[in-house]
Amino acid sequence: MPARKKRILNIVWIVLPAAIALAAICVGRYSLSPRQVLAAFFAGPSSANKDPAVLIVYNVRLPRTILAFFVGAGLSVAGCCFQSIFSNPLASPDTLGVSSGAAFGAALGILLSLSLLGVQLFALGFGVLAIALTFLLSRLRQDSGVLMVVLAGVISSAFFNALISAAKYLADPLTKLPEITYWLMGSMMGASYNDLKLAVPLIGLPVIVLFLLRWKLNILILPDEEAISLGERPKLLRWCIILLCTAIIAACVSVCGQVGWVGLVIPHLARSIVGSDHRFTLPACISMGGCYLLAIDTIARSLTSGELPLSILTAVIGVPLFVVLFFRKEAGSLAS
């Protein structure tokens, strides 16, 4: 990548999230001007009782904005890493069954009438259980390569999806079933600072580690023999990255439910802009993924009088975007 383009993109990846976040805080049923938002930041949360703008900024929109950005960035990074280590452009956070396991944990927590924290901890725990099941299944055969891991992930995902259906069947159709269904469709409604205490470390720390290891993702694209000749241990590195991505996905699902297409579409969009070098692709995924879900969440809470589930909008927008990226790639390959 040319040095000038690299410098420009580095500035864009920093400025773009700040601009989108400011716009997200301004937009809503109670609209605020940028001047009001900046004044609220300078006034501080202690002025919330005196100024409704400060109350809206600090208690409602700021935690939601931070959470949406972290979830979008985390899912994008996880999707990018999965697509790289499995050499599969269709790999996503659902590949290893983590999303399904975490979703079942949340559904079970709701079914048992647990508190919000209990639901989140159940989601996190079953997300980890799902990756453990995937690992055990992949080790049943001695040739436990990448293909076996993916197949084990499909089995794990199907198993937990069946358990989710069982939880829905057992749920009270008047109270629990709507709550479970809405959770599984994904939403940032009710985001609070308590959610940030749980999600930000579990998403942020793995993302930072993956960011520091991003150059090693380029090595994992090579055959294992070549990676070993370069002094790397590809199997160990691959499983470390899988576990880091598992923590990210489970944390995302535990606080806002299942959000599809972000981890599939954004890595492809990032590669179309910066190329396949993960030293540049991962920073692009962090910025673009966070901005994308932040924009989706702003539309979801502003488009109608109610609030649209995130998965509806991510699919409605993500599917055409993925089709455009796919045909552009095919056209490029044909032209070359």
Residue-wise pLDDT for 251-282, tens only, equals 898 889 889 899 989 999 999 999 889 999 99
The listed range with the strongest mean pLDDT (105-109, 190-194, 291-295) is 291-295
> 157: how many CB neighbours lie within 10 A of its CB?
22
How many CB atoms lie under 10 A from the CB of residue 293?
31
Report the Cα–Cα distance between both ends of the chain, in Å, rounded: 20
- At 336 the pLDDT is 40
Average pLDDT over residues 206-216: 94
Instruction: Kindly state the percentage of the chain with pLDDT values over 70.
Output: 96
Q: Exposed (0-12), middle (13-18) or buried (19+): which is 243, by Cβ within 10 Å?
A: middle
Maximum C-alpha span of the chain: 66
- Residues 285-297: what's their mean pLDDT? 96
Crossing angle for the helix pair 116-138 and 98-111, nearest 10 degrees? 140
pLDDT surpassing 90 at residue 91: no
DSSP 226: H
List every span in the chain annotated with CATH 1.10.3470.10.
Answer: 94-259
DSSP helix/strand/coil, 251? helix
- Rounded mean pLDDT of the chain? 88
- pTM, full prediction: 0.90
- Other beta carbons less than 10 A from residue 274's beta carbon: 22
Question: Is residue 22 pLDDT above 90, yes or no?
Answer: yes
Answer CATH for 94-259 from 2.60.120.620, 1.10.3470.10, 3.40.50.720, 1.10.10.10? 1.10.3470.10
Q: Residue 334 — pLDDT band, cuts 50, 70, 90?
A: very low
CA gap 39, 59 in Å, rounded: 15
